Structure 1
Amino acid sequence: MRRNEQALRLPVSGLEVFLRQPTGVEDILLLEATNLDTSLALALLTAIAQAADGGEVGWNTLSITDVDTLLLHTRQSVFGDRLRADATCPASNCGAPIEVSFQVSEYLANYLPSQVRGVEAAEESGWFRLQDIPVLFRLPTVADQVAIAHHPHPDQELLRRCLQPAEITSEQLQQIEEAMETLAPNLAQNLQGQCSECGAMVEIFFDPQQFTLRELRNQAAFIYEEIHLLAMYYQWSESAILALPRQRRLQYAERLRQTKRTA
């Protein structure tokens, strides 16, 4: 493990990984992406994460919980543990600004997977069964999320991919969904708060994937200016600048800006 890497064990798969901070290469990836979607999240994580044992990882086979966990740890390494988001009170005649704030570490600790009584591994790798229910299921993966993103009936398609057979009773489906949520908790959740101005209760949907990708892309907005400054002053190549750890690049660029302001 290098100095700028963080060692993590993913909560669902148990995979041990090393995670590094994004460099300029990933900043360019974020800025030039057409959509802030799961495919972009996968491309980012494939670039900055690796298995601790050096082996190959099928990143698209990871559960969505594991991927969102990696994204939040990436966000944590860049911006710190405290997460802040702005919202507006939806109450009529109010519209006051509301700040949502929490610790990433506490949020992740609140959604840890746990075992489910009556669930056992099936013969096929990655599949499970619930006792007394003649249905096999597996946890949705990143590949599933990408595949159903533009499907006309995404919920039905996900069931088709993750259940054997896909046609089951509503009671059986409820039991399986509860088991899935326990084995791989969904980190995209509604957060509740109260407006300090009018006292209205406010519910805000927090999507770790969208929030993290947007925040990382916003911070990368000045990468082209930073490349220009460093290349012009130090005569470094673009590839050398892009390979710098993000924080080091920002420090160099800010010092050049200060030099220009005081000149």
Structure 2
Amino acid sequence: MTETHPWRRYVAIGDSFTEGMSDADPRTEGRYVGWADRLAAELSTQVPDGEFHYANLAVRGRKLADVIGPQLDAALAVSPDLVSVVGGGNDILRPRVDLDEVAGSLEEAVATIRATGADVLMATPADPADAGLLSSLRSRHAVHTANVHSIAQRQGAHVLDLWGLRALRDWRLWATDRIHLSTEGHRRVAQAALTALAQPVSDPEWRTPLAAAPPVPRREQAVETARWARSYAAPWVHRRLTGRSSGDSVTAKIAEPTPFGPQDLPDA
């Protein structure tokens, strides 16, 4: 088999985005697949069987301090040669956030990983311009996107550019909670990650937006927004007010580097 990349030990750290919500794994209730698992499966096909290992330490609800704290420590302990570090999204959702502090902490973590000789994959947030109530976060997302690109340039990291992936501005690539990607969204992001790593993709149409959907009447939009607020926004606010997180009882789904390949995906 022809070698096209140097990585044999990939560790993903982060929050719900990297854990894979809401790309449900039908084989195990409560478990998710996600873009990082799909990326790992793609990378594994380019190295000899059994030589590629993958761990996913990401847990939903985690803020950046946990991602670049305990998760990063655990990742470095297993000597990875590729680390994807995507964090800060939950910090940005808070009423108050210091984006310069977030960027400084993230850069310190990236520099720490790079000092070991490992490569780093970062990610920008998606553009929430068409995200209804969440569009108010656009200025924060834009600043964080610029910071991620700047950090990557200084530290020699790769960037998964979700801000520029216009296909993600289609709600059909998102789950009903409007925060996490659907299975199709995660699949496309995995292809974007391969591109960010300068690797061949398996789907050359991954950037292509879905065909236009029929217009939705305003009344129906309002009803759906009200349902979303009751089902998702209100519980999220309640957790914040009570100091709880959706990931309080969740542990890493792949806690140790494990042989991994396409056969480990549910749609293999």
TM-score (norm 2): 0.23
Higher relative contact order (CA 8 A, sep 6+): 2
Larger radius of gyration: 1
More strand by share: 1
